[in-house]
Chains A and B, each alone.
Chain A
């Protein structure tokens, strides 16, 4: 099904955007070459590197099991949480992970609707992250409660013999719906996108076992015209459904705080500022994994510097939004003339016992992205990787500031307290990272890290358009 002038297309470098002539796919590629290069990491026997990483990830996952088990046995008292500070690492991690989950949907849904072709190389990757991040996040709403064995189902609206229902005024109940919807849609979206590639894997698999498994997973995809038509249609539909979710989920998460009366929580700017922060951290996390992955899986020709640079730009933009959020919070705290608010920001956060964490957050989230103004830096692999890492840390600090710092010194000075995490808290955090990494490494092992079909498609499109260009359709 190759277009006429195929050969010629092969000669020409694929050029799409006259403003940025750099290609999305580097080198002369054919469907075959792409298949080979992009499926390669699925078929090869995992190397030492992968195994080493996997072992590390698994042991961290073990920590998660340990921490959760100990918490169930001992109670929330196993953590550092205390009387004024009712929430700490538990909810910090929750918000952090949910945030990270946002890049995936943004890339796959919104960029798709905006027809941002460059998304194709990274969306599969990012969507997978969304799923795994949300899984990590989902641990906490249940396990942070004192009696998870009840929380697990009392938060669900069902007709119980007690004749009572959840309290729909509570943002925590909204969370349950928001996050579970988000997870479901993301899962469907991701899986739908996978189907053609699974089919391709099925067809190129060597053993019967593999064929059977990939075959069942591919749900009988035969890339017939009808299949493609329905595939396109439903993919677009899911993109449409998940677009509002990108905004809604973290908006609702932010309500957990915004609807309260607590100084430092009671803020109307939270929804946009949380969403921006979510995308910010999401991209940072994608970046953190993408850079090594493209290197070790040999994806440099599809995940090009251009992609990375675009991501840096997105981080710069969202980073600025987040910074604006910080500034606005402070302005309102001062302008409102509310003593509790201004004390919270100018005394507690700036000078309180947790001030270092606040200033670390400012450095990571406000200062770091500014370096992306310079092309030199936003095209330096090393710099952007460390920057991304810094942003991940910064966003975690942000949540610490919002939750712990606000809680430990509220209205009545007499009830002010302090907070110190325990080993369980740290294990819990490390453990979720372990869970994430484990799932991620498995993902890299068993399905292609980039949407091969879409890449191939992209190649064809671009090729076609360069034809048109050659025919004098477009003048550079």
Chain B
């Protein structure tokens, strides 16, 4: 009786085995890179807000300091989203007829908050605290990126745990004088590493990596 299988079937068999192994490795590798990709982390993806607020205009053109609006950043876990009244402090004078600002006026007169969309979000079992980071000379730009160049704000960093840990293990490269925290263009003068070490001393930076530092 003629054999069902011919020599070339061996090749097929070997190939399929190869594919099996390759597929497994490739699949896992793919996942490995995907979860680290900006796509998976929701980065470089400008979020549309109920009001077309343009940070470029306010910070660059008007030169308003971050803390003018995000004014609890130095004393609270939350940086603080400006209350409607704060917007109107200026905009009752300028652009007070602009249709773009209608939602703001509506919010003010109806006493209903503006529903901003969250851009930089961490899971709720993560207790991030702005005040301590700012007090120790971690600049806004370090985590939030060049907000002053964003027409609509987008997530600039992965905000994964390993990303946080990188800095908590070696903070030097991300430190600056406390006076410069809101400066978007500050660059260390001289060797960044040396400057970093000096600043670590100066700002008494004692980063911790114990779990309860962030998880409670």
Contact = CB atoms under 8 A, between A and B. Distances in A.
B and A form one assembly = yes
Nearest to B7: A220
A371 B122 CA distance: 66
Interface stretch (B100-108, B137-145, B159-167): B159-167
Contacts of B9: 220
Interface in B110-161: 158, 160-161
Contacts of A163: 160-162, 165
A211 B4 contact: yes
Contacts of A164: 161
A162 interface: yes
Interface residues of A, number: 14
A158 B32 CA distance: 9
Given A220-B5, A220-B13, A159 B32 contact: yes
B5 A215 contact: yes
Contacts of B5: 215, 220
B210 interface: no
A208 B13 CA distance: 19
B171 to A, nearest CB: 16
A158 B160 CA distance: 16
B13 A161 contact: no
Contacts of A212: 4
B35 A161 contact: yes
A162 B123 CA distance: 13
B161 A161 contact: yes
Contacts of A211: 4
B36 interface: yes
- Residue of A159, A161, A212 with most chain B CB atoms under a 10 A cut-off: A161
Contacts of A220: 5, 9-10, 13
Interface in B11-42: 13, 32, 35-36
Contacts of B4: 208, 211-212, 215
A162 B10 contact: no
A301 B9 CA distance: 38
B6 to A, nearest CB: 10
Nearest to A162: B161
A219 interface: yes
A159 B31 CA distance: 11
B30 to A, nearest CB: 13
A162 B13 contact: no
Given A211-B4, A220-B5, A161 B160 contact: yes
Contacts of B13: 216, 219-220
Interface in B171-193: none
Give the top 5 A-B pairs by smallest Cβ distance, nearest first: A163-B162, A162-B161, A161-B160, A163-B165, A211-B4
Interface of B: 4-5, 9-10, 13, 32, 35-36, 158, 160-162, 165
Given A161-B158, A161-B161, A163-B161, 17 more contacts: A159-B32, A160-B162, A161-B36, A161-B160, A161-B162, A162-B161, A162-B162, A163-B162, A164-B161, A208-B4, A212-B4, A215-B4, A215-B5, A219-B13, A220-B5, A220-B9, A220-B13
